Structure 1
Amino acid sequence: MVDKQEWVHNLPDAALEWLGGRRVEEVECIVPDLVGISRGKTMPAKKFSDDAFFYLPTSIFYQTITGAYADMDIKDQWMETDMVLKPVMSTACAAPWTDDVILQVIHDLETTKGEPVAVAPRNVLKRVLAFYADKGWQPVIAPEIEFYLTRRNTDPNEPIEPPIGRTGRKGIGRQAYSMVAVDEYGDVIDDIYDFAEAQGLEIDTLIQEGGAGQIEINLQHGDPLKLADEVFYFKRSIREAALKNNCFATFMAKPMRDEPGSAMHLHQSIVDAKTGKNIFSDANGEPTELFYGFLGGIQKHIGAVMPIFAPYVNSYRRFKTDDSSPANVEWGQDNRTTGLRIPISTPEARRIENRIVGMDSNPYLAIAASLACGYLGMVNQLSPRPMRDGDAYEDGVTLPYALMDALVPFQQDRELRDMLGEDFCQVYEAIKRQELEEFLGEISPWEREHLLLNV
């Protein structure tokens, strides 16, 4: 192949600005897996072309979080047939943490017959968005990214600890919105900003959250697929910024026992595709039946999507009646004790904040699942329970306590599975059950400490 790199001229502006006339040395052809991490191939730039064909085996979607493979009732599963990588050039951006001139490009996945690979998370989200498009609706979302900076943890048997900041002390905890706490990790924050700018990723706000070393980044509102791509890129960038500064960044839902959990709150509204008007508000600025239908859809189908919102055994440790944690699927006006919060806004910006989604979830799947619930509520004209006034924590935790409990309604909700795609749901459920079996095979320190000599 001739090394002409004609495709470089069509790169997004941020990528061209970062290149500054330099030649691209390598291209990372990446896809988001079920976890939400990058899989793919790296190649010399002279081999890459936006119309070339590259392949990955279907088995990348058959692995659990531990790297084990789940054996499923899929015809010819272990033939490992190839999937075709189709570059989405609008996603091309820098890999600024490297010393070389490397570009990342997210790819969609198709079968060799040109059909979307049903289990690919990006395709699952596109499938849900197609339902909205058929109705003339356009979802608008804004994610919030919460994560912890921690000390390097190389021994899984040791508890995770906050990092040492510039003062030489462990991270300042329980000081939400503290500028001093943000400054404590100034070098990491600076690198996150630099990496984001190099990639063309826009940060709305950055704050210190309630936990020791816990940071929140809010993104601008926009197209769900674009925002899912940005969360996907941000998670890798934040990890790289932390490693550059000799600490870890973790997106675990509950990494430390006595600290708050990490969420990916999703702000969601729907606009008319032709007029651009928010269909959650009527001409008088009042909530519409579609607004209430969206709420009712999440309340009805929440059980089925919990394995997506909370995909691991650790995820369920986050659901508590304190630290602004979600504990229920009630809704309320400017009420952080409800799982569904209606923020203060103008009628044009009326939106629903889903506070149940964990930061350990796959952004493509979490957004798809939340929008699928809302869609079913709108088209089926559902009504939510009455708005919750006052402290909803008084009701206790009404969300599932464990992944095992959550998988039952996921298996049974036919409407939800039809929207996400049955092929995807079968694979996802099998992966989650395999991970649960792997976890249940482990003996925890708590069991050794309290049961070894006492029972």
Structure 2
Amino acid sequence: MTDWTDKLPPAAQAYVERHRLDEVECVIADLPGIARGKAVPATKFATLRHFHLPNSIFYQTITGDWGEAATDGFTEPDMILKPDMATATAAPWAEDGTLQVIHDAFDQKGQPVPTAPRNVLKRVVELYKAQGWHPVVAPEMEFYLIGRNIDPAKAIEPMTGRTGRPAAARQAYSMTAVDEYGPVIDDIYEWAEIQGFEIDGITQEGGAGQLEINLRHGDPVTLADTIFYFKRLIREAALKHDCFATFMAKPIEGEPGSAMHVHHSVIDEKGRNIFSGPAGGETDAFFHFIGGLQEHLPSAVALMAPYVNSYRRYVKDHAAPINLEWGRDNRTTGIRVPISDHASRRIENRIAGMDCNPYLGIAGSLACGYLGLMQEIWPDKRFHGDAYEAEDAIPRGVYAALDLFDAAKDLHEVLHPEFARVYSVVKRAEYDEFLQVISPWEREHLLLNV
């Protein structure tokens, strides 16, 4: 092996020892969370210290069009992308030996590019560290396994399981339902182990073909990297078995949406959870973090629900809270405090959808908590009972969410003002693209009736 492979993480090093390494994929996440980059021969990667991509990759909409976000004309200057070798991991579905490496984006003066989603999350984490705090997160990933869908005009259907029947709905936590797509799950487990990812568990959710993967708690950037990689892993495992995996917030009409719930705690420099006091009780910091979520989450929803489809998930009584109440062990509240001992006391944000960019969804959630800690915001009283009966507290559409986001100057300072400007420009351009598409609903109900 060459010198650079000696410094790989253990799982990647074990993969290289078993496979002839042919290719390295140099990747970075754009605003939607799509992997952009270059694939280079392994021999060439050994001599590379960085490579270049235009900064315009952060101006692209989900359709591949462009938002008018450039301030000095659309000249597309190059960024310098440097590998973070701690992120090196296998691509076990590839026929030839392949590694993936996440890169960080810098401008030509060596400064972090503020519009790069990974840099946004790193910035938020550094603000915590400046206070002597270390944020810890534990994300949950919900997604659907569906039948192959190559016609956008056709409704999405659940995948066909081993019995030859479509996956059934309303079978939450059913082991039999999980067995229906056992071969896909087997590959997810196997490839995750090869890539060095630790899965805390896989469960059947309430939707037809809907699964949830829980990840162990840890560093926010590392966990966002893991979700970024996992989305590709899951898609590849599904394709191997002639189905699709989708992370759309609401892929199937009448079925629950897919969320990315995020659990948060904060550790001080002595390794103590700042949400718990010396005697194990809840601290002011615990309540301030909740208060920050209640105060600032409406302005951050644009990061956690980035598409028109995202808001179809927010339906009462469909496992998607649209309130910002907080409660203990209460899944109807937007902010939940799970059962735990005092050392692992944590706060769960149940608002984010699985369609969000994991770097931006986690950054937005942590930013709200940070503002609560710094501004010493006290939350409303704990909610008792069914919070679906509570008042709606989040925007219900893209434009409303972006209006709140644009006005949230405190949030911009945490995330970076330039990122906030570009994000809003790109998302508004995306919505304008959507408005050019005439939906089946419009043709059915408006064509001959209005």
Q: TM-score normalized by structure 2?
A: 0.98
Conserved? CA contact 1:320–1:397, under 8 Å: no
Q: CA deviation at 1:46?
A: 0.8
Q: CA deviation at 1:49?
A: 2.8
Code of the residue aligned with 1:210 in structure 2: it is G
Cα gap change, 1:380 to 1:398, in 2 (>3 Å): closer
Match of 1:279 in 2: 274
Q: CA deviation at 1:51?
A: 5.3
In 2, Cα distance between equivalents of 1:391 and 1:58:
47
Match of 1:449 in 2: 444
Conserved? CA contact 2:82–2:104, under 8 Å: yes
Code of the residue aligned with 1:439 in structure 2: it is F
Structure 2 residue runs without a partner (length 5+): none
Q: CA deviation at 1:16?
A: 1.5
Q: Tell me which of 9, 15, 39 is aligned to 1:12.
A: 9
Q: Tell me which of 76, 79, 82 is aligned to 1:83.
A: 79
Conserved? CA contact 1:50–1:89, under 8 Å: no
Match of 1:69 in 2: 66
Conserved? CA contact 2:298–2:393, under 8 Å: no
Code of the residue aligned with 2:354 in structure 1: it is M
Structural RMSD (CA): 1.1
Matches within 5 A, 1:113-132: 113-132=109-128
Conserved? CA contact 2:31–2:58, under 8 Å: yes
In 1, Cα distance between equivalents of 2:436 and 2:379:
40
2:370 matched to 1:375? Answer: yes
Matches within 5 A, 1:37-436: 37-49=34-46, 52-72=49-69, 74-76=71-73, 78-272=74-268, 274-436=269-431
Q: Which has the higher mean CA deviation after the structures are superposed, 83-92 or 46-55? A: 46-55
Code of the residue aligned with 1:255 in structure 2: it is P
Q: CA deviation at 1:440?
A: 1.3
Conserved? CA contact 1:144–1:265, under 8 Å: yes
Q: CA deviation at 1:79?
A: 1.1
Q: CA deviation at 1:50?
A: 7.0
CA deviation digits over 1:254-304, x for unaligned, max 9?
A: 0011100000000000010x2100000111211111111111111111121
In 2, Cα distance between equivalents of 1:443 and 1:324:
29
Code of the residue aligned with 1:288 in structure 2: it is T
Q: Which runs of 4+ in 1 moved over 4 A?
A: none
Conserved? CA contact 1:319–1:399, under 8 Å: no
In 1, Cα distance between equivalents of 2:255 and 2:246:
13
In 2, Cα distance between equivalents of 1:417 and 1:384:
22
What is the SS of the residue equivalent to 1:79? coil
Structure 1 residue runs without a partner (length 5+): none
CA deviation digits over 1:154-176, x for unaligned, max 9?
A: 01011000011001111021100
What is the SS of the residue equivalent to 1:254? coil
In 2, Cα distance between equivalents of 1:138 and 1:255:
36
Q: CA deviation at 1:71?
A: 1.5
In 1, Cα distance between equivalents of 2:99 and 2:48:
16
Q: CA deviation at 1:21?
A: 4.7
Code of the residue aligned with 1:254 in structure 2: it is K
What is the SS of the residue equivalent to 1:25? strand
Code of the residue aligned with 2:138 in structure 1: it is A
In 1, Cα distance between equivalents of 2:216 and 2:47:
28
Code of the residue aligned with 1:372 in structure 2: it is A
Q: CA deviation at 1:340?
A: 0.3
Sequence identity (%): 58
What is the SS of the residue equivalent to 2:250? coil
What is the SS of the residue equivalent to 1:426? helix
Code of the residue aligned with 2:137 in structure 1: it is I
In 2, Cα distance between equivalents of 1:405 and 1:72:
20
What is the SS of the residue equivalent to 2:151? coil
